[in-house]
Structure 1
Amino acid sequence: MQEVGRRGEAAERKRLADQQAREVQQKRWEAAMQEAHAYCVKQLGKQADTWYQARRLTEYVAAVGVHATSLPLGQERTEAEAWLAFADAHLQSLTESASAPNLPTPPKPSGDDLKPFLGHWSPYELVTRSC
């Protein structure tokens, strides 16, 4: 009778330990998913900042360009045109890195987008791994 009682207690301890391990694993998986999502949101913010900067600088360079054409021929105009050439090249690189001309809507990352940030965790479901 005692043996049955001990086995029952051992089975209950194992069940509780397994449940606790699943809960810990679930919390770790959720934390990894939150970290991956936060990274994607941060990237979206960077893209929006780049887009805004490119838009703002485009307007400024256009205004300076109008002013430069009103300058008389000479060194001042030549320097302004050289500066505008630099500014245009810089704007082109900014525009290329800003993927869309409009503020993008936050994407819901796919599982494949999240994989590089999750380590051994699956982005699709909680997968139990054994050693």
Structure 2
Amino acid sequence: MTAQGQTCELRLLQEQDRVEHVPTQKELADAQKHSWVRIPRHDYSPADRLRICLSGGLHHRAGEWADTAARPLEDQLAEIAQEIGLRGQAAEHKRLADLEEAQQKLLRWEAAKRQATTEYAEAYRGRHLEAQHAVWQRTAGLVEYVGALRLHAESLPPGPAREEAKAWIAWTESHVQRLNPLNGSPLLPEIPEPRAEDLQPFMHGWSPYGPT
């Protein structure tokens, strides 16, 4: 049986009557002869009363209803139907609440991913700046070295060695010019599209793959 998506199981059971057990002569003899023999205290027999058990869903008012002298089971059917309806309503309420929670979690994850993308871009620009600074420092050292080369070449006597030194110095000057990040207009670096693993350090506990 299903109510608003909630499956409920109804079981119809027959009650049993219990009476005091009257030991038989054989039972008494067996119990006296063997210490492990236990004589039952009660006898059970099927009664003309029924019991309904309801399982599944969130318990509200009751889960079992039985025939009694004051209230036959048929007089309790409306109460049973109401309990099933209440469990269905509770299931629907939980479904909607879970859906709302999932939507809110998705919104929080999307906000976290946007923030992570921003932080990733800032970190990328920072690394780019540090790389430019390192190149600039290395270039400054090369400029100084090329100047020393030029002085050394000028001290050489005219001839092939001096000409080769000048050719080498010309190449080094051109190379250093190409390396120098200050040659040209500084531009914002183009940020590559981040992969999931790129965003992971900036997700602050969230998974970059989804709101799990």
Which of the five TM-score ranges fits, normalised by the shorter chain? 0.5 to 0.7
Aligned equivalents of 1:26 and 1:20: distance in 2? Answer: 10
User: How many angstroms does 1:65 deviate by?
Assistant: 0.6
The letter of the residue matching 1:13 is D
For 1:65, the aligned partner's letter is: R
Q: Which residue of 1 aligns with 2:134?
A: 49
State the Cα distance separating 1:53 from its structure 2 match: 1.7
CA RMSD of aligned residues (A): 2.6
Deviation string, structure 1 residues 67-89 (Cα, Å, up to 9, x no partner): 11111111111111111111111
CA drift of 1:94 comes to 1.6
Which of 98, 105, 115 is the equivalent residue of 1:20? 105
Q: What are structure 2's unaligned runs of at least 5 residues? A: 1-84, 196-212
SS in 2 for 1:73: coil
Structure 1 segment 1-131 matched on structure 2, within 5 A: 2=86, 4-95=89-180, 98-99=181-182, 117=193
Relative contact order (C-alpha < 8 Å, sep 6+): which is higher? Answer: 1
Give the residue type in structure 1 aligned to 2:172: A
> 2:177 and 2:106 mapped to 1: Cα distance?
53
Note if contact 1:57-1:91 (Cα within 8 Å) is conserved in structure 2: yes
Shift of 1:118: 6.3
The separation in 2 between residues aligned to 1:118 and 1:66, in whole angstroms, is: 49
Deviations 1:92-117 (A, max 9, x none): 2122xx137xxx9xxxx8xxx76x64
* Distance of 1:82 and 1:28 partners within structure 2: 54
Q: In structure 1, list runs of 5 or more residues that go unmatched.
A: 120-131
More strand by share: 2
Q: Work out the CA distance in 2 between the residues paired with 1:23 and 1:85.
A: 59
**TM (normalized to structure 1)?**
0.66
Give the fraction of aligned pairs with identical amino acids, expressed as a percent: 29
| Greater Rg by CA | 2
